[in-house]
Structure 1
Amino acid sequence: MPIPKHIPVRYPKDADYANQAYEVPGTKKPGQTGTLTSSAFPLITLDLPDTFHNTVEFFESGLQRIPSPKHPLFGRRPVLSKSPLKRANYYEWIDWETVDLRRRYAGSGIRKLFDDGSAGGRELDVVGLYSGNCPEWQIMDLGLQAYGFVTVSLYDTLGPDTAGTSSILPCSINHVEMTLCALSPQHIPTLLKMASKIPTLKVLVSLDTIPGEEKKILSAWGQSVGIKVLDLEEVEQIGKVNLKAISYPDKNDISTICYTSGTTGVPKGVVMTHGMVANSIHSHTFGMEQDDIPISIGFLPLAHCYGRMCEAVVIARGGSIGYWSGDPVILLEDIQILKPNVFNAVPRVLNRVVQAGMAATKLPGLKGALFRRALQTKTERFHATGELTHPVWDRLVFNKVRAALGGNVGFISSGSAPMSKNAINFIKVAFCVQYLEGYGSTENNGTVTRQWWGDKSAAGTVGAPQPDAEIKLVDVPAMGYTSEDRPYPRGEICVRGDMCFREYYKGTAAIDDEGWQHTGDVAHIDECGRFSIIDRVKNIMKLSQGEYVAVERVEALYSGCPGILQIYVHGDSLQSYLIAIVVPDPVTFAELAGKVWGKQVLPTDTEALQKATKDQDIYNKFMGILNKHGKTTGLQGFEMIKRIYLTNELLTIDNGCLTPTLKIKRKETYNKFKDELDGLYTLPEPSSSKPAKL
């Protein structure tokens, strides 16, 4: 099948930013809005000839667009020394031509192992991927997609010692009856130890070459439990000798089974067909005004559909992906060496960048005054004209800010959680970039809405329908949301399109009779046709006075507060107010403690920071910061946090408080801090006229 000739696709010249969604005539029904689609582009379906139909085609799309076969595709910083660990200040690259050959060798090699009975023999030809982001992950996945395999990506953060998730790893493997897994060498002992719990697994393929003596030990161990241990180099050699022709799957064939992050229980496997993934990839190339060949930093987890989608779009455009070193401490160093022009991120990372940048507004003397003046001038110019650059202030001030992300970033995308308007506008102005926030889920491959390129008033929304999505809002009477609400219709987001899934693996169908996926997210749609997420049908609680609160939304808004590193908001239906567990940002918290105590406090002084969490004066100051932020973000009085428990103990995957995609596991987090939270509710009713008490 022919692949799309023109990507990325620009907006039409007559695109109307005041009317970004089009209501299909005759689709309005009682209790819901009409069906809304993109007003800029016709609906993209798999029936169109000029589109992607499977995941093999997007790689071949990139091959057709690269300037030469030697154009770099995947890169990483080489390790110069392991003890102490030292990485080079440059990237080494694998070019497109080499990746093309290696994906064929890897895919053919795995197919040979299935054909000779070393693996396979189950309902699906499933291959697991259990590794952090690296070139080999993508090479293996590209090969598997090209030879008819179903991939299942396992979160690299899962392991037998991970609190609260010890059963997820074997459950996922057993659920799909996985017989072969490609993985990082450090994970090989993990799976060999649990061999008796994962009886279908027969072959492990290390994505890195294993040193000779270590290979002998692991092979012997594997043999003793009935599991063959190979490495990618061996598999590619097998494939080279037994090279097969690439297959082009049907749009209805299963491409991957992606497990949701599981904030409320064991994850479910979302069945993603080739057509579903391909349709999403194509959709994400629309409304892109960037002509440069993309260069991106690969740090979003490839086990999650958002990270995978972001990289697929770069590949489809013939771009380059440099992988991070895997250490959050040196992520910015990786970026500054790579100098990407595309930065696909999440609010957790972007909020830290914003907080670091905003620190310049507090500088004393001329430097601080200059930065504040520059920021004010550019912000006013942006709101008036949409211009992101300034001939004077960029040269004098903001080029230094841009250097934090390498100096070349022109486009930032964000998903998974909202960011505050102020933070978004700061990113646009200070980094001179287009910032596009979107909305989606694993069940629709992260493809539902996205802000339009150049929309100067989009902050606070998640944008308009993507070109492959049909959307409607359905009334939620129990929560008081209706499609007749004014000024904006409100209701549960329902989505339909070829990018939507149909079922969970070995589960029931998950769409209604008309093909609509009910997301559980509540939104309103504004006068420009842009959606804003305002609530959640599930995971809401009612306070004692009868007010409903979406605690996840409250968390998201407070997360943008300077000084907060992590926050867990808690409510009780027998109480009239919200409380929270707050992990303060050590830099900001040390500065606050220093001001209260009248002496310098270092962010690395853990003893002092621990003492600060128990200091009533510091607590009162911190609550003042929270209250001011809550009012700024528009939270209503009953949504404001009235008491907090300050702790320097991070919520992590290891202590069971976070999912592998770093979302809060509510039940586990409450159980961990049950005594502290219950203790806050035993204190006298908080009063706005008196300082909050510890």
Structure 2
Amino acid sequence: MDDTVLKVLGTGTVVATAAAYWLTRSPPNFNPAVDFTEQTYNALGPEKAKISKQAEKGVTVAYDEEDVRTLHDAFKKGARISNNGPCLGWKPSPTEPYNWISYNDVLTKGSRVGAGLIAMGQAASNSTHIGIYSQNRVEYFISEQGCYMYSMCIVPLYDTLGIEACNYIINQAELSLIICDKNEKVTNLLGRMSETPNLRILVVMETITDDVKALAQKHSVDLIQYSDLEKKGEEAPQDLKPSGPDDLAVVCYTSGTTGLPKGAMLTHENCLAPTLACTNLFDSNNLIVKPDDVLISYLPLAHSYERLCEACMYSCGGKIGFFQGDVRKLMDDIKELKPTVFPSVPRLLNRVFDKVMAGASVSAIKSKMLNMALASKEAEIKSGIIRKNSWWDKLVFSKIQESLGGRVRLLTTGSAPLSPKILMFLRCCVGAPVLEGYGQTECGAICTLQVPGDGQIGNVGPPLRCNYIKLVDVPDMNYNASDDKGEVCIKGPNVFKGYIKDPVKTQEAIDEDGWLHTGDVGQWMDNGCLKIIDRKKNIFKLAQGEYIAPEKIENVYVRSPHVAQVYIHGDSLKSSLIAVIVPDPDTFPAFARDKLGLSGDMAELCNNEQVKKVIMEDITSVGKKAGLASFEQAKAIHLYPELFSVENELLTPTFKSKRNTLKVFFKKEIEEMYKDLP
């Protein structure tokens, strides 16, 4: 917020407020795509499924044009729409401006990279898997299009997978060639060659160092500079053999929750159907992406959400600008790029909220002004007015809008739930549609999306036109489809083909009728929108999008000699885990007496801060030794003196934790622990 403006206002706040109120009246700036009170069709048949009102006659829609059936087709369409306009942007160095490469140049370079891969022994076949281990950058994008030109399938790798998971993917996907961005990643791969014997070729984007060359020679691995790969393709061109709709586009490995990651096999149709469903929804609201639109690419391209966003851009001829690869410089990139389309995630958006609220809290006047501005803008949004030219925008929200580049006209959020309060806050601040969707890798990243202009919050929107959604009973959790509550199941052309080389997990995910069972529990709202209310399995996401398997962590923590029982709790709107721990009643009192000089019964010991500190340090140490990631470690604990049991109804008859009961039982303690945690 601008301090100068506040000083000028002084005691004239009331006058300014009144003037702002009367001058914030204006008509909606787009036409709603559907009646907000009834946003879905009820599909015929016994399934009682729902689908978007944009699906004509209630039938799923996979594509609009016969000649646009794959991601490569969509890119060529974007080239036509843009009239060979700028496509990909990057900064050669922090001091240089963004450079741009055109759509046709991407196609030319892509064909050379694809031909170069063939020259390196890779077959122009859909059974050929090409690994890409890189941050978002121009070469990544070109390599992907090059693969599609010759029917190859890409397999993204990323740093947070961990060494064991990365090796597993290389072997399971049978990767003999991986394209890397940095020498550091090449070194990591070469250091594990004994575990990945099929890996024979590494393509490197940055200049290969002598140390890396020597290490590759030691392991008999061929190294080739990325520029030389492109040159090979230029010298030995190949006739194109583009992918078809049913060919695999990507094997996208989920981060995994217990054990090793699973490789979701996504065809071109699986990826394109939700892309076109989203762009169709935007078009119906006068939000269609145009050639002069710009997207900032900083979310990992290894994940389906970012891939979906970029496909939406290039299918409409828009521009994609890559960040420099350093999150510390992201705000500089945004300031220069001035994106109009801004994909984001709750973790970043929560920081925006916290920063603004902290800034306003230092002054009673600032706080009052912010609250008045939010109230006025929220009233506008609920009446269908979305804009950034009101007095409140000029007086209060302009700094926030400028921090996002000043031109954002569409902001999306995904990967994890966003608090309804923060969602409305952002809609007020940004002055543009801020939309939350829901989905997972297995349905091409998305299956529902809020309709622009709908002022309601607390839901993830109606189904897209490309998929049906139904709710099925979850008896053991007392959720019944007859009450419009149950497990969310998805069916349509965006549903994946299964997990690579894993028929058992595939059958667990997709039933015999083709319905993908998500494991999430949803509720239908009166207007046909979906609300996610629970998780069927004991797996959940933190706010930053990381999956958590609480039982895995509990099984680690009970290795501590001080711990008898553990209940790990997480909230999808929070980024930290907390734990309720029952100290071992047989051993801990003696330890406290002999080592800590403390006496008293279990209740007294559990209330002692020194005891809490000792147990916290011990479980953290045990967790580190067991290989728990930082986000898997509890950041706060509550000590409880009584063992969970069948008698106190905290355990099932088979001695498993009753997680829902524990969550309710420790509600007060959970709220207390989260007071000082993100």
Q: TM-score range by the shorter chain?
A: 0.7 to 0.9
User: Match for 2:49: what amino acid?
Assistant: T
**Closer, same or farther: CA 300–658 of 1 in aligned 2, 3 Å:** farther
CA distance in 1, matches of 2:143, 2:668: 59
The reply on whether 1:226 has 2:223 as its aligned counterpart is no
State yes or no: 1:171 paired with 2:165. Answer: no
Supply the AA of the counterpart residue of 2:79.
Answer: L
Which amino acid in the other structure matches residue 91 of structure 1?
A: Y
* Closer/same/farther in 2, CA of residues 131 and 456 from structure 1, 3 Å limit: same
Per the alignment, residue 234 of structure 2 pairs with: 240
Distance 2:641 2:112 in 1: 65
Q: Match for residue 156 of structure 2? A: 153
User: Deviations 1:264-323 (Å, cap 9, x if unpaired)?
Assistant: 221011111122122222222121032443201101101111111111111111111111
Residues 409-488 of structure 1 aligned to structure 2 (within 5 Å): 409-457=408-456, 459-485=457-483
Alignment partner of 2:519: what SS? strand
Residue matched to 1:111: 118
Counterparts in 2 of 1:320 and 1:368: CA distance versus 1, 3 Å: same
Report the Cα distance in structure 2 between the residues aligned to 1:51 and 1:258, rounded to whole angstroms.
Answer: 26
Deviation per residue, 1:396-429 (Å, 9 max, x gap): 2222220110100111111111111110111011
1:59 CA drift (Å): 0.9
Equivalence map 1:13-412=2 (5 Å): 15-28=34-47, 34-42=48-56, 43-46=59-62, 49-50=65-66, 52-66=68-82, 68-69=83-84, 71-79=85-93, 87-88=94-95, 90-114=97-121, 119=122, 124-158=127-161, 165-185=162-182, 186-210=184-208, 214=209, 216-288=210-282, 289-291=286-288, 292-293=290-291, 294-364=293-363, 366-412=365-411
Aligned partner of 2:515 in structure 1 is: 516
CA distance in 2, matches of 1:615, 1:306: 45
Q: How far off is 1:361 after superposition? A: 2.9
Instruction: Tell me how far 1:235 sits from its aligned partner.
Output: 0.5
**Contact 2:114/2:233, CA 8 A, preserved across alignment:** yes
Q: Which runs of 5+ in 1 are unaligned?
A: 1-9, 29-33, 80-86, 159-164, 544-549, 560-565, 576-613, 620-643
Compared with structure 1, are the counterparts of its residues 358 and 388 closer, same or farther at alpha carbon in structure 2 (3 Å cutoff)?
Answer: farther
Does the 8 Å contact 1:120/1:179 carry over to 2? no
CA separation in 2, counterparts of 1:346 and 1:49? 32
Instruction: Give, in whole Å, the separation in 2 of the partners of 1:507 and 1:531.
Output: 30
Q: Greater helix share, 1 or 2? A: 2
The amino acid of 1:191's aligned partner reads: L
One-letter code aligned to 1:35: A
AA in 2 matched with 1:535: D
- The structure-2 alpha-carbon separation of the partners of 1:615 and 1:174, relative to structure 1 and needing over 3 Å to count, comes to same
Q: Which amino acid aligns with 1:567?
A: S
Write the letter of the residue equivalent to 1:290.
L
Counterpart amino acid of residue 464 in structure 2:
Q
For 1:646 and 1:380, the matched residues in 2 are separated by: 49
1:103-122 CA-to-partner distances (Å, cap 9, x unmatched) read 111111111212xxxx5699
Match of 1:505 among 500, 509, 513: 500
In the alignment, the residues of structure 2 paired with residue 388 and residue 11 of structure 1 have an alpha-carbon distance, to the nearest angstrom, of: 10
Q: Any conservation in 2 of the 1:78–1:91 contact (CA below 8 Å)? A: yes
* Distance in 2, Cα, partners of 1:321 & 1:407: 17
Q: CA deviation at 1:463?
A: 0.6
Aligned Cα root-mean-square deviation (Å): 3.6
Contact 2:294 2:339 in 1 (8 A): yes
Q: Percent identical across equivalent pairs?
A: 30
1:147-178 deviation line (CA, Å, top 9, x unaligned) = 111110001344xxxxxx32111111011111
Give the Cα–Cα distance (whole angstroms) in 2 for the partners of residues 687 and 145 of structure 1: 51
> Match of 2:329, SS?
helix
C-alpha deviation, 1:447, in angstroms: 2.0
Change (3 A) 1:518 1:421: same
- The answer to whether the 8 A contact 2:266-2:496 is kept is yes
Q: Report SS of the residue matched to 1:529.
A: coil
Give the SS at the match of 1:167: helix
Compared with structure 1, are the counterparts of its residues 504 and 109 closer, same or farther at alpha carbon in structure 2 (3 Å cutoff)? Answer: same
List per-residue Cα deviations over 1:243-280 (Å, max 9, x = no partner).
12322222222221110111222101111112212222
Secondary structure at the aligned position of 1:199 is classed as coil
1:51–1:282 contact (8 Å) kept in structure 2: no
Counterpart residue number, 1:601: none
TM-score by length of 2: 0.76
What is the deviation of 1:367?
4.2
**Contact 1:51–1:279 (Cα < 8 Å) also in 2:** no
SS in 1 for 2:482: coil
What residue is the counterpart of 1:495 in the other structure?
490
Total equivalences in the alignment: 561
Structure with bigger gyration radius: 2
CA distance in structure 1 between the partners assigned to 2:124 and 2:333 by the alignment: 43
Question: Contact 2:433–2:453 (CA<8 Å) still a contact in 1?
Answer: yes
Are the equivalent residues in 2 in contact too, given 1:89–1:337 (CA < 8 A)?
A: no
User: 2:384, 2:453 within 8 Å by CA — same for their partners in 1?
Assistant: no
Residue 44 of structure 1 and its aligned partner are, at CA, apart by: 4.2
**In structure 2, do the counterparts of structure 1 residues 155 and 482 end up closer, same or farther at CA, with 3 Å as the change threshold?**
same
Pairs within 5 Å for 1:497-576: 497-508=492-503, 509-510=506-507, 511-539=510-538, 555-557=571-573, 559=574, 566-570=575-579
- CA drift of 1:123 comes to 9.3
Aligned AA for 1:109?
G
Match of 2:25 in 1: none
1:655 to 1:134, Cα distance in 2 relative to 1, 3 A: farther
Matches within 5 A, 1:639-650: none
CA contact (8 A) 2:296 2:337 kept: yes
Structure 1 27/393 Cα, relative in aligned 2: closer, same or farther at 3 Å?
same
